[in-house]
Amino acid sequence: MTRASETTLAPAPVEVQKGWGGQSVRRKEDKRLLQGEGVFVDDVKRHGMGYLHFVRSPYAHAHISRVDVSAAEAIDGVYGTLTGEEVAALTDPFFQISSAPGANIKDFSLAVGKVRYVGEPVVAVVAETRELARDASELVEVDYEPLPALVDARRAQDSDAPVLHDDADGNLMWTGLYSWGDFDAALAEADRVVKIPELHFHRFNSTPLECDGALVEFNRGVGQWTIHTNNQFPGFAAIMMGPAMKVGLDKLRFVTQDIGGGFGNKITSHPQLVVCCLLARKLNRPVQWTEWRTDFHLSMSHGNERWFHDTEVAVKDDGTLLGFRTKALDDAGAWLRYEPLGGVIWAQVTPGMYRWRHIELDFTQVATNKAPVSPNRGYSRMQHLWFTERVMDIVAHELDIDPVEVRKRNYIRAEDMPYETPNGCVYDSGDYAAMLDLALELIDYGSMAAKRAEAEARGKRLGVGIGSTLDSGTNNFGQSRLINPELQFSGNNEVATVKLDIFGEIVVTLGTTPQGQGHETTAAQVVADILSCSPDDVHVRAGHDSYWNSHAGFSGTYASQFAVTGLSAVKGATEMLAAEIKKLAGAVFGGVPAESLELADGGVRIKESPDAFLPFMACGAIINANNAGLPEDLDVTLNCRYVYRPPFEVPDVERKFGNLTLTYAAQIHVAVVEVDPETGAYEIVDYAAVDDCGKRINPQIVEGQVMGATAQALGAAVHETYEYDEDGNLLTPNFYDYHVPHALDMPPLATGAIESPSPFTPLGTKGMGEGGGAGIHAICAAIQDATGQVVTDSHNPYQRVWRLLQEAKA
């Protein structure tokens, strides 16, 4: 686990920027977190609060014939309960994103009449202590009539398959055909067609170390709930919860502070938050809910499992790929909590990194008796990019061409940027071939032949594998219309406010909900550069509070966008403030025009006579507390709010065409493995990760994201999987059975970076942090290289590699 020093290529035409942006400024968040003084959701307490525990389904699929909470409620210290029947009476089903048939399902915050996966919440119990709530839950009587379970999505549309949702008249939730270019023409032009019967991307998620939770208070006087939570996308939770609870969004105040990891897995806690709200009102006391680890594994935010069937690839003999056709089958689990958006999100990166123009993908999403899926780091693009990378290596295998060569022959070239993909996305910048060269250099690719021989001499088989991802960021929510043309979402937005307070304090509020991405630090760097001060002078409020008026419909931290949406909002608000400071100073100095003024040393001064200096403290004091005599028409508040709105058009729904995200950061990983041919056990002996996310505001934070994403990828590739038995029982419901990497599991890692600034964003930045999928594929490819067998699954524990080796022998 030693780390080579970071290698950075000389940046292309990067604007040389002086100042704080671009420096690895130490994080402002760290001091409180290192001293145990962070405030995570389970740290929030209120007088008289009750602890909530969920009674969960032991069956994957069953009718509920009777619920009796009387024995639980009779216990001293039990404050009350909530049943599915009450939820159905008090709330409407959640709004569905899907068009029919998925649109027709009725999703409530507790099971109503039927359970559809093991671990589904059925009843909530609130009591004086955590332990009592748990004990009382054991006394809730629920009678079930078990039904056959559907656990294999490939059987979902069979005529005899158990049906989860009668309202949808079957298990099909959403389907759509995507076709761009002319694949039949590509087949005619091709020298050969490579056929791949089945590829499978497995079910796992990022398992943030802090589980979900909330402390909810109800203010009876004004009918408003305050929801202290670690939900990472309050804007989404609000639009799900408000209509279901039949209240306006002003009645739902969301407050977050420190969040113990999210990775997309904390987007869809809205059903549990509704239960907390209903109980806080019913019991007239604050309600606290902290999810147990086993509950998280059983019920929360699994990543999308996906198959690719009957793939055909149109190939020229020289390794040029013309296009592909495939059928994607996606397993949504029991409910559509964010789905079927996965059915379009993949299209942000339709061709991956390659120039093929003829693409046909038939997407089908079905329901199964498993935990609902929802966004997971690399959401939906990871599955698709793994597929495109698999195609590259399988074609290379079939044509007996070096995978490096196949990639270089087909990469979108630096000179093609900005590049419009077959479906109208515009890749903003990048040089994939240069990234691959750097990654190969970092693992000393030239020495591989010798290392292969050396490993062979030790009885091991060495394999090298490449994996790539595009970390598309800053969503155009108009893509949701490709799923359901009725939806009225499009574009994106984020908010920041920056103000100068009475003693000259620079105070920043963000609409985002960071979970470790260092927003307080990078925002302070951007502000400091504009106001000519130090990041230490900038106070960035921790967390999110919808009372701060610094949020908009899409506020939150998800889908790789802070460096674009969040920091652009910060930049906009700070530039407004800088202009106001100059306007004020101009008036104070007796009519000096703004262009004669400059910000410096914590204040504003006249360029030509720097002794005429007004410190920020004076500016703040004048506007806030000493403003008599200022000119009547002086339009200055020193409290500036800016909404950044990225430049997007509504996509063409008929052609399924348009730019679906604003930026396209890229990652290329290379893994070197040594396989023991006797056992299938393998070790990752070398590893390189190269990232290009445009202008980096804080390179150390960017590198931290690269490392973390890599570790998650390696965990998913080798160990992590949500496996179910045939009855729908999850076999990996905790960290005993769901092995996440430990310190000893980590291979040597070298990181590298290239900076291709985005021409489309105010700071040249691109959102990043989700690029771990590259690692999953790099391991698959390395195993294929080592064993000589085509790898068809994203998850390759040792026993699967052993089976590959047996197939090779046979």
List the one residue out of 314, 462, 330 whose CA is nearest residue 391: 314
**Footprint (CB under 8 A) of another protein, residues 747-806:** 749
Conformational region of residue 556, where left means phi above 0, alpha means psi within -120 to 50, and beta covers everything else:
left
**Footprint (CB under 8 A) of another protein, residues 94-133:** 129-131
Angle separating helix axes 773-787 and 381-399, nearest 10 degrees? 20
DSSP string, 379-439: TTHHHHHHHHHHHHHHHHHHHT--HHHHHHHHBPPGGG-SEE-TTS-EE----HHHHHHHH
Pick the piece of the chain touching another protein (CB under 8 A) from 1-9, 444-452, 574-582, 759-767.
1-9
List the one residue out of 698, 697, 687, 708 whose CA is nearest residue 752: 687
Regarding 467 and contact with another protein (CB under 8 A), the answer is: no
The residue written with tokens 């979902």 in the block is 156
**From 34, 185, 450, 808, residue interacting with another protein (rule: CB under 8 A):** 34
Regarding 7 and contact with another protein (CB under 8 A), the answer is: no
Question: 788 vs 11, 455, 714, 719, 804, CA distance in Å?
Answer: 38, 16, 21, 22, 9
**From 31, 63, 192, 413, residue interacting with another protein (rule: CB under 8 A):** 31
**From 21, 22, 27, 61, residue interacting with another protein (rule: CB under 8 A):** 27
Binding mask 187-216 for another protein (x = CB under 8 A): -------------------xxxxxx-----
Q: Which is nearer to another protein, 210 or 312 (CB)?
A: 210
33: its two tokens: 């977190």
Residues near another protein (CB under 8 A), total: 62
Q: Enumerate the β-bridge partners of residue 215.
A: 228, 288
Q: Which is nearer to another protein, 33 or 453 (CB)?
A: 33
**Footprint (CB under 8 A) of another protein, residues 499-528:** 515-518
Q: Which is nearer to another protein, 69 or 300 (CB)?
A: 300
Binding mask 401-440 for another protein (x = CB under 8 A): ----------------------------------------
Regarding 4 and contact with another protein (CB under 8 A), the answer is: no
Least gap, CB of 706 to another protein (angstroms): 9
Least gap, CB of 750 to another protein (angstroms): 10
681: its two tokens: 């056990």
First-to-last C-alpha distance (Å) of the chain: 37
The residue written with tokens 């270089």 in the block is 408
**From 7, 294, 320, 789, residue interacting with another protein (rule: CB under 8 A):** 294
Regarding 140 and contact with another protein (CB under 8 A), the answer is: no
**From 179, 740, 790, 797, residue interacting with another protein (rule: CB under 8 A):** 740
**Footprint (CB under 8 A) of another protein, residues 615-634:** none
Least gap, CB of 256 to another protein (angstroms): 12
Indicate the pairing of strand 544-545 with strand 538-540: unpaired
Q: Are 469 and 385 in contact (CB under 8 A)?
A: yes
Binding mask 692-731 for another protein (x = CB under 8 A): --------xx-xx--xx-xxx-------------------
Q: Which is nearer to another protein, 52 or 361 (CB)?
A: 52
Q: Are 518 and 511 in contact (CB under 8 A)?
A: no
Q: Are 525 and 342 in contact (CB under 8 A)?
A: no
Angle in degrees, CA 199, 714, 752, rounded to 5: 110
Q: Which is nearer to another protein, 43 or 505 (CB)?
A: 43
Q: Which is nearer to another protein, 37 or 456 (CB)?
A: 37
Pick the piece of the chain touching another protein (CB under 8 A) from 289-297, 394-402, 607-615, 670-678.
289-297
Peptide bond into 418 cis (omega under 30): yes
Burial of 68 (0-12, 13-18, 19+ CB in 10 A): middle
Q: Which positions touch another protein (CB under 8 A)? A: 1-3, 24, 26-27, 29-31, 33-40, 42-43, 45, 129-131, 206-211, 258-263, 290, 292-294, 515-518, 700-701, 703-704, 707-708, 710-712, 734-736, 740-744, 746, 749
